Amino acid sequence: QLQLQESGPGLVKPSETLSLNCTVSGASISSSNYNWAWIRQSPGKGLEWIGTVYSIGNTYYNPSLNSRVIISIDTSKKQFSLNLSSVTAADTAVYFCARRTESFDYWGQGILVTVSS
Amino acid sequence: EILMTQSPATLSVSPGERATLSCRASQSVSSNLAWYQQKPGQAPRLLIYGASTRATGIPARFSGSGSGTEFTLTISSLQSEDFAIYYCHQYNNWQTFGQGTKVEIK
C-alpha cells in the first residue's frame, strides 16, 4: 500500500526558508508513470498546488510561487522535497505531498507549518 | 489561471437523500476534472477523475458528470460517512481547486 509521509519543522521564522521532505513507501518513486507534488491548504486560500516533480527531475511550479519554490527528488532515498524561500505569515498552511497521475490519487497526512517569529 | 467555482457553499441534506454538487470552470477543462472528499484533520481523498471515473474503492453511490466548463458530483443516497467537504480540481491547465462545498446533516 502506497504511503507518503511529510516531515520537517512546524515553525519557520518570517523571511526564512521552509523546507519539507516527503518519504514514499510501498511504491517506486522512480516510475515514469507517476509524478510527485506539493499542495498546501490554508483557511484563506483553500487548496493550492505548489508544484510537481517528475522522477527524472523535471519540475513545474505554480506561477504565483515560481520565484520562491524549489522542488527536488532523491530516488535513492525515496524522497522528494520542498523549499519555499522568503516566507511570510501568508505561507502558514497545512502542506501535503501527493502522488499525481493526472489527479492526485494518494496524499500524505499533511503537516502544519506556521510562519511566526 | 483557470478559476473553479463550486456551488452551493453549504448543502444541508438528510441521510438517505440525494446530494448534487456543482463545479464550474472559467474556461474549458475538457474532462480533466477530479473530485475529492475531505474530512476534518484528514487529507483529501480522490473520488472521481476524468470527470466521471470512480477511483479505486469508491462506492457506486458517488457519480460524476459533465465536460467543458460544467460538472456535477452526485451522491445518490447519503450515508453518515459522506458528510464532509467536497472539492473539484481541474488538471487541464496547471492545477486549480474549487473552494469546496460542505455537505452537512439537515
pLDDT, tens digit, 9 for 90 and up, residues B4-50: 999 999 999 999 999 999 999 999 999 999 999 999 999 999 999 99
Type of residue numbered B80: S
Distance of alpha carbon B106 from alpha carbon B16, whole angstroms: 11
pLDDT, tens digit, 9 for 90 and up, residues A40-70: 999 777 899 999 999 888 999 999 998 999 9
Residues 15-44 of B with CB under 8 A from A: 32, 34, 36, 42-44
pLDDT, tens digit, 9 for 90 and up, residues B44-98: 999 999 999 999 999 999 999 999 999 999 999 999 999 999 999 999 999 999 9
Chain A residues touching residue B98 (CB < 8 angstroms): 46
Cell numbers placing A50? 505548489
Q: Which residues of A touch B (CB under 8 A)?
A: 37, 46-49, 52, 60, 62-64, 96, 98, 101-105, 107-110
Put simply, the answer to whether A47 touches B89 (Cβ < 8 Å) is yes
Q: CA nearest A104 in B: which residue?
A: B46
Distance of alpha carbon B25 from alpha carbon B79, whole angstroms: 28
Chain B residues touching residue A52 (CB < 8 angstroms): 95
Cis amide bond preceding B44, omega within 30: no
Question: Which CA distances in Å does B94 have to A42, A86, B65, B89?
Answer: 19, 24, 21, 10
Chain A residues touching residue B94 (CB < 8 angstroms): 49, 60, 62-63
